[in-house]
Amino acid sequence: MSHQPAIPALAAADPEVAGLVEDEAKRQHEKIRLIASENYVSQAVLEATGTVLTNKYSEGYAGKRYYEGQQLIDQVETLAIERAKSVFGAEHANVQPYSGSPANLAAYLAFAKPGDTVLGMALPDGGHLTHGWSVSATGKWFTPVRYGVGKETGRVDLDQVRDLAREHRPKLIFAGGTAIPRTIDFPAFAEIAREVGAVLVADIAHIAGLVAGGAHPSPVGHAQVITTTTHKTLRGPRGAMILSDAEHAKAVDKAVFPGLQGGPHNHTTAAIAVALGEAAKPSFADYAHAIVANAKALAEALVERGYDLVSGGTDNHLLLIDLTNKGVAGKPAAQALDRAGIELNYNTVPFDPRKPFDPSGIRLGTAAITTRGLRPEHQPQVAEWIDRTVAAVAKDDEAALPAIAAEIRELLASFPIPGYTA
Ligand code: DSN
């Protein structure tokens, strides 16, 4: 049983860290991982992240660096950029943002000034911290206005978006978020942004792999600026990219470097290039559609068991469940599910009467289980395990959990993951 690629030098030099890495690989093998923002990267992506490219500084862009020795780094970054443009059909790509939050901050730096008004989705309704939530720098340094979902529909309220945009004339409008189970209507957002003269930023961090694989409509041609992490449904390393049209390209690049960041993480850039190479293959389109099929099957099985899904279901990889009708809060449910072998996160639900650190809901996603080969026919069983665990929490029956974890380990033994050999 070991991590793949093998880590003998690490084991010899630092058994303490190596032991933790080995244990984490085993943990990832033995759990049903349903955290909607996580995945399993391929072994090729893992190998790229562990290369000598981590040794190199390369502030600047290809052909215009502030350090020498960029003969090969320039080629790596150019490859990643060209693949990103090709996979998404974008006019411009910047692959240097360290992760999603810096990518979004770069959009602010490029197209707004401190104090300017920005319109984003409220965090409890499914938005992201960096879309102007009060505890984030973006909420402190800019003037945030927030839209949400309809109380009855659980879906983004585009009438509210339009009304708020007309009233507040924001410089930036963010479309996208972290807990949106339904298709994002990029053309509708674009129309609103055009009307009020705002730059539309589509944050597709969650759905980038679905967009790449044709399982969610693309924002290209609608949003002038598109930010995304690379490690969720896109199945790359932890990192981010900004795509844009040609008109906004220069401002995006200037904001990332020298505006916000120093040297790019070249080992990550290489791994992003590898992931984008994988995303360009026809098999990735099958993968993206399989993620959605799994999410829909899981949603159906949970609804059959009386679970209250925000918006009633899903169009993408993500399910948001309000556990109020089960008499259990999100946090104890998530913690018990973890002990039972199912990893997900507790989450606020729209109009949640509870606090963010102890909310009413849980959030699930199917990107990782789809990578390891689970299919719609497995989802009724996954739903049954979730249901048994939630029922155990309601009855304070901790003793029920180890049996569930054992059943899960038995099923998953037939579904290997990249990164670990059992
Ligand atoms: N933490 C990411 C997520 O889980 O959606 C967003 O930052």
| Mean local confidence (pLDDT), 193-212 | 98
- CA–CA separation, 78 and 414 (whole Å): 39
Question: What pLDDT does 413 receive?
Answer: 96
Question: What pLDDT does 367 receive?
Answer: 98
Ligand 1 pocket test, candidate residues 104, 178, 317, most atoms within 8 A of CB: 178
Q: Say whether pLDDT at 1 is over 90.
A: no
Q: Say whether pLDDT at 220 is over 80.
A: yes
Give, as one character, the DSSP assignment of residue 312.
G
The CB of 100 under 6 Å from ligand 1? The reply is: yes
Is 337 annotated as contributing to ligand binding? no
Q: Residue 261: CB partners within 8 Å, gap ≥ 6?
A: 96, 97, 98, 102
End-to-end CA distance of the chain: 5
pLDDT in tens, 48-107: 999 999 999 999 999 999 999 999 999 999 999 999 999 999 999 999 999 999 999 999
The 3-state DSSP composition of the chain as helix, strand, coil percent (nearest 5) reads 50, 15, 35
The predicted model scores a pTM of 0.97
| Mean local confidence (pLDDT), 376-385 | 98
User: Is 203 a residue of the active site?
Assistant: yes
User: If you measure from the C-alpha of residue 72 to the centroid of ligand 1, how many angstroms do you get, rounded to a whole number?
Assistant: 33
Question: What pLDDT does 359 receive?
Answer: 98
Question: What pLDDT does 170 receive?
Answer: 98
The CB of 37 under 6 Å from ligand 1? The reply is: yes
Q: Is there a contact between 97 and 272 (Cβ–Cβ < 8 Å)?
A: no
**List 138, 227, 228, 229, catalytic entry:** 229
User: Is 59 a residue of the active site?
Assistant: yes
The CB of 181 under 6 Å from ligand 1? The reply is: no
pLDDT in tens, 389-408: 999 999 999 999 999 999 99
Helix (H) or strand (E) segment spanning residue 145: strand 143-147
Of 362, 239, 377, the closest CA to residue 296 belongs to 377
User: If you measure from the C-alpha of residue 397 to the centroid of ligand 1, how many angstroms do you get, rounded to a whole number?
Assistant: 31
Ligand 1 pocket test, candidate residues 128, 138, 228, 345, most atoms within 8 A of CB: 128
pLDDT band at 110 (very low <50, low <70, confident <90, very high): very high
**List 26, 169, 238, 354, catalytic entry:** 238
Residue type at 420 in one-letter notation = Y
Q: Is there a contact between 145 and 118 (Cβ–Cβ < 8 Å)?
A: yes
Q: Say whether pLDDT at 230 is over 90.
A: yes
Of 309, 101, 294, 119, the closest CA to residue 200 belongs to 119
User: Is 57 a residue of the active site?
Assistant: yes
Q: Is there a contact between 319 and 181 (Cβ–Cβ < 8 Å)?
A: yes
Q: How many CB atoms lie under 10 A from the CB of residue 332?
A: 16
pLDDT in tens, 231-243: 999 999 999 999 9
Question: What pLDDT does 133 receive?
Answer: 96
Residue 22's SS3 state is helix
User: If you measure from the C-alpha of residue 294 to the centroid of ligand 1, how many angstroms do you get, rounded to a whole number?
Assistant: 20
Tokens of 73: 């780094």
Q: How far is CA 190 from each of CA 161, 193, 361, rounded to the nearest angstrom?
A: 11, 5, 31
pLDDT in tens, 282-309: 999 999 999 999 999 999 999 999 999 9
The CB of 178 under 6 Å from ligand 1? The reply is: yes
For the chain, list the domains and their CATH numbers: 49-279 (3.40.640.10), 290-421 (3.90.1150.10)
Is 320 annotated as contributing to ligand binding? no
User: Is 387 a residue of the active site?
Assistant: no
Question: What pLDDT does 193 receive?
Answer: 98
**List 57, 85, 245, 305, catalytic entry:** 57
**Residue closest by Cα to atom 1 of ligand 1:** 37
User: If you measure from the C-alpha of residue 252 to the centroid of ligand 1, how many angstroms do you get, rounded to a whole number?
Assistant: 22
Half-sphere exposure of 197 (CA within 13 A, CB side): 5
User: If you measure from the C-alpha of residue 177 to the centroid of ligand 1, how many angstroms do you get, rounded to a whole number?
Assistant: 9
**List 33, 83, 182, 232, catalytic entry:** 232
**Closest ligand 1 atom to the C-alpha of 100?**
7
User: If you measure from the C-alpha of residue 178 to the centroid of ligand 1, how many angstroms do you get, rounded to a whole number?
Assistant: 6
User: Is 238 a residue of the active site?
Assistant: yes
**Residue closest by Cα to atom 3 of ligand 1:** 37
Question: What pLDDT does 234 receive?
Answer: 98
**List 22, 203, 253, 352, catalytic entry:** 203
- CA–CA separation, 74 and 182 (whole Å): 39
Tokens of 43: 């072994």
Helix (H) or strand (E) segment spanning residue 320: strand 318-322
- CA–CA separation, 299 and 316 (whole Å): 11
pLDDT in tens, 113-146: 999 999 999 999 999 999 999 999 999 999 999 9
User: If you measure from the C-alpha of residue 100 to the centroid of ligand 1, how many angstroms do you get, rounded to a whole number?
Assistant: 9
Q: Say whether pLDDT at 386 is over 90.
A: yes
